[in-house]
Amino acid sequence: MPRCSAELRFDLTAVLRLAEDAAAASEHTTRWEPGPTLNHPGFDVDAGACLILVRDDGVYLMSTDKNAPRDTGGRVPRCYARGFDPGSGDWWSRWNRTGLPGDDFAEYLEVVESGLLDELRAAAEDGYRWFVITLSESNLSLSYERGIPPMPGERAPSDE
């Protein structure tokens, strides 16, 4: 049975800008936490300084900066994963080929205490171009790449 996973590549400069915004923000958005028991409704908590990995209309990262400037459509800044921007083609078919569920989700990546912001800064200084999130149904891992990767579902060019 094939392993369900996706390698999501984000422009490192844009991701670093979002992480810096989250870290510098005076107020952060909230996230919903489930209650301790099934009959407890849950509650909102301060998300803190985070990047949010979102899968809804595309796959993108955004900041938890509550006061982030909005565009004319009312949207906060986003950094779409390469090949998963709804404005650049059939991102939905690419997502379906990963084998991962099609449900919307939001995953919070803490940037200050985790050291992620420092890692992003160091990767940018070392000449990396891409922030890569490898996602499966049970794991999430982070890495960095220098070159221009193929679009999801394409083969990398050979060195011949």
Contact 5, 34 (CB under 8 A): no
Q: Treating both helix axes as pointing N-terminal to C-terminal, what angle do 12-24 and 116-125 enclose, rounded to 10 degrees?
A: 140
Q: Is residue 156 part of a domain?
A: no
Which amino acid type is present at position 12? L
Q: Is residue 35 part of a domain?
A: no
The tokens describing 103, both together, are: 């449900």
Q: Is residue 121 part of a domain?
A: yes
Q: Is residue 16 part of a domain?
A: yes
The tokens describing 42, both together, are: 């849950």
Give the CATH number, domain containing residue 132. 3.10.150
Residue 112 CA to residue 40 CA, distance in Å, equals 31
Q: Is residue 68 part of a domain?
A: yes
Please give the chain's pLDDT, 160 residues, in tens.
456 888 999 999 999 999 999 999 999 988 877 767 767 777 788 889 999 999 888 999 999 999 999 888 888 899 999 988 888 778 878 887 887 877 888 899 999 999 999 999 999 999 999 999 999 888 999 999 998 766 666 655 443 3
Q: Is residue 123 part of a domain?
A: yes
Dihedrals phi, psi of 134, to nearest 5 degrees: -100, 120
Q: Which domain holds residue 57?
A: 5-29+44-145
Q: Is residue 34 part of a domain?
A: no
Q: For residue 159, what pLDDT is reported?
A: 39
Residue 150 CA to residue 136 CA, distance in Å, equals 19
What is the value of pTM for the model shown?
A: 0.84
Number of independent structural domains in the chain: 1
> Left, alpha or beta for 62 (phi > 0: left; psi -120 to 50: alpha)?
beta
